[in-house]
Structure 1
């Protein structure tokens, strides 16, 4: 996640031999079983980790800034003992993604896909959607990630935790800023943290939880460095067609 401390390379080795624990700073809520089964840990660019979501049995949605050159990314399979690192067969970054923009917290097409050679054991796909527009002050998303539970620490990285967050600012089809409704960015609250880049933002639509965005960045309270302030989400409004077409070109059916 841009502007947050990256996890060191040694942490990747640790992940290969431990079971996951809970994440999302400020949150003590686990997601539903169905949502939890769609969340995966992606070993990311620069020696860190990101969150990914299964949108088909062998297709993972994550953030473009998590993708390393070539096939350097790995996905952790916790179904084995010890866990194994799986290399993706194909990687696709949205052609309009701009790394300089994401580094400056500006809107860009921060979405990417990974194709595995086989379905992930014990995982199931989440439903893909687009956010309902226009947004209102009562709009709510639920972010689910495997990142740190404590800002500036690798504590709790591994298994998904959920954070119900509210839309703030002037949201649009390029970027949405979310905030803990209890703290309103004035004090540390719930939000994405290190390791939550690429995490899905879910919206409840007609009684179903559907992915409507991915986490791109976060801040501390009052827009400081860290976690627990704002959570920046790239909505899928403009990118859903690309996701579906790319996945289908790989032979995956996206509902």
Structure 2
């Protein structure tokens, strides 16, 4: 399986995106929110406990300096719709996968470890914002869905309810889901239970045989590790020594033949 870069592929196909702009349409998805980063950009995140937001690790790095972003510059807007959120929360600290390295080189290692947890200063306890549970890694061929904000839908998220896992390679999920810039960190859901469960987060987009695909990581081991890192006090807070820890310019070999674009 060979993947190739195609930044415009997501706009070239009918992906069945459903806008969640209205309260009725978005009622089950209010725990998905927009992560605003210092007013200069945004990612997507999802609440998995009243105080923890799951997202992609690369969302927490500055594209220019390649240093970690001060969590004090990040705000989580739960259920953001047309200028209003159900809850606004500032960030106490964040932790990225210990093996994650932020650089501009395409690699499966980067996607495999591109996951982070954000701890909020105050829990979100709102009857309409129910944290999602997480689930096992989906099987090849299994139907999944994505709820995401993106550059052309920044004021309300959209749901792609039916896409599928096309392949699982070295801990990286290759999915047929539609993503674009701003979709980074968006939750990937399994619908096999009574309520959707998060089984991955969006890391990148690529092209496979002329078709847009999205790339994400499995969560089981990574999420357990991230929670342990937080408990051990290894998160970075609003005024840490930013240093350069966890940032490297070293290139890793791309094991699935892809040049990835972080959405």
**Could you tell me the TM-score, scaled by structure 2's length?**
0.65
What is the deviation of 1:124? 1.9
Unaligned runs of 5+ in 1: 6-23, 148-153, 180-189, 251-255
- The residue aligned with 1:15 is none
1:53 aligns with 2:51: no
Q: Is the 8 A contact 1:173 1:235 kept in 2?
A: no
Q: Is the 8 A contact 2:96 2:115 kept in 1?
A: yes
**Could you tell me the TM-score, scaled by structure 1's length?**
0.67
What is the deviation of 1:249? 6.3
1:97 aligns with 2:87: no
- Single out whichever of 191-200 and 138-147 deviates more from structure 2: 138-147
The separation in 1 between residues aligned to 2:202 and 2:18, in whole angstroms, is: 19
- The residue aligned with 1:191 is 178
What is the deviation of 1:25? 6.7
Alpha carbons of 1:50 and 1:3: their partners in 2 closer, same or farther (altered >3 Å)?
farther
- The residue aligned with 2:220 is 237
The separation in 2 between residues aligned to 1:85 and 1:205, in whole angstroms, is: 31
What is the deviation of 1:38? 1.1
- The residue aligned with 1:167 is 165
Alpha carbons of 1:74 and 1:29: their partners in 2 closer, same or farther (altered >3 Å)?
closer
Alpha carbons of 1:206 and 1:86: their partners in 2 closer, same or farther (altered >3 Å)?
closer
Q: Is the 8 A contact 1:130 1:237 kept in 2?
A: yes
Unaligned runs of 5+ in 2: 9-13, 62-68, 234-263
Q: Is the 8 A contact 1:51 1:199 kept in 2?
A: yes
| Residues 29-44 of structure 1: pairs in structure 2 closer than 5 A | 30=20, 33-34=27-28, 36-44=29-37
- The residue aligned with 1:115 is 119
1:67 aligns with 2:60: yes
- The residue aligned with 1:76 is 77
Q: 2:135 aligns with which of 123, 129, 143?
A: 129
Match of 1:238, SS state, is helix
Alpha carbons of 1:217 and 1:244: their partners in 2 closer, same or farther (altered >3 Å)?
same
What is the deviation of 1:234? 1.3
Pairwise CA RMSD: 3.4
Match of 2:181, SS state, is coil
The separation in 1 between residues aligned to 2:96 and 2:7, in whole angstroms, is: 22
Alpha carbons of 1:45 and 1:218: their partners in 2 closer, same or farther (altered >3 Å)?
farther
1:145 aligns with 2:148: yes
Spell out, residue by residue over 1:16-57, the C-alpha distance to the aligned partner (whole angstroms, 9 max, x if none): xxxxxxxx97512547622x1110100248932100000011
1:106 aligns with 2:108: yes
What is the deviation of 1:214? 0.4
